[in-house]
Amino acid sequence: MPRKAAHGNLPSSHHPNHILTTTELIVTAGESPKRLDQFLANREPRLSRTALQRLILEGHITVGGQPVKPSHKIKPGDRIRLCIPRPQPLEINPEPIPLEILYEDEAILVLNKQAGLVVHPAPGNWTGTLVNALLHHMLQTGSLSTIGGKERPGLVHRLDKETSGVMVVAKQDEAHAHLAAQFKRHSILRIYEALVWKGPRSSRGTIELAIGRDARERKKFSSRTMKPKPSATEYVVHERLGALAAHVVLYPRTGRTHQLRVHLATMGCPILGDRVYGGKKVMVLGAVSVPRVMLHARVLGFLHPVTKEAIRFEADMPQDMQEVLAQLRVQAEADLCP
């Protein structure tokens, strides 16, 4: 069993003041030989395999007191010491990134996020995010709520990098708390639209599937998970594009990570451009090349956190999705008249 260990004689870079937690693991007799990073990824679900590899290379993870490589093969009896350092303060700089603001007052800001914009800083995207853009905007118009912490100021919810559409940002902590409560109750009105491969058999229906982080592929979400959470999505087929694809409207009842992408893929009609859940087949359809995940958050409705008035915001399908939709219509017509 993992146990907290005494710090002992640590190098200066591993001084107790710099360490958040220290854990020791003993490889059991029944454990088959495998890479150290693979072994730890199964035992420490809090950390991604990439994060574990970085900790190993930085010397925060040792085997038998010695630094090793991520590919080091563990064997029964090995004593693994895992030191997780305290996160270093992250300096997020304001950046003049254009924003399409739909509404703003002293409590909230509503915007139409462009596709390709990462919402908050994270490994691989420390700059050029929506948060950087918001901080620049707030230099003139005020501040952001602090509930989300230093890395996610103002963020009550998020959209994936390639998903476009309406988002609400909190400028005050009290507004943030009110909005977060609405999201938790699933009382927020959210309407998405997507272009999907082939299309659902029924013209409307509800997908109900408990999902969570995939037990084998940490970057994916699925029903194959150790911590399933109930999720439901209503869908309506707005337009069928021959046998190639369909334009669907989605009404998520819950807000799980990757919910719409997983639900549609599970139903056999993954979102076009979503290589993670649809593979290569959703990237090119006949003569139509798909540039990104064809998912757009069209409508967001909620109670204003200060006035308690019901408000609703809508953003039209962006140009790149409109172009793919038009090309799919042409392709469908060509398939009907060879």
Collapsing DSSP states into helix, strand and coil, what is residue 3?
Answer: strand
- What does the angle CA 177 – CA 178 – CA 179 come to, to the nearest 5 degrees? 95
Collapsing DSSP states into helix, strand and coil, what is residue 18?
Answer: helix
Q: How does 57-91 read in b/e, with b if 16+ C-beta sit within 10 Å?
A: eeebbbbeeeebebebebeeebebbbbbeeeeeee
Encoded tokens for 312? 């609703």
> Is the distance from CB of 248 to CB of 150 less than 8 angstroms?
no
> Is the distance from CB of 70 to CB of 37 less than 8 angstroms?
yes
Is 160 catalytic? The answer is yes
> Is the distance from CB of 49 to CB of 38 less than 8 angstroms?
yes
Nearest one of 165, 170, 166 to 180, comparing CA atoms: 170
Catalytic residue among 37, 160, 274, 320: 160
The C-alpha atoms of residue 11 and residue 92 are separated, in whole angstroms, by 30
Collapsing DSSP states into helix, strand and coil, what is residue 50?
Answer: helix
- What does the angle CA 260 – CA 261 – CA 263 come to, to the nearest 5 degrees? 65
Element (H, E) at 114: none
CA distances from 291 to 50, 105, 280, 295 (A): 27, 35, 12, 12
Residues belonging to the active site: 160
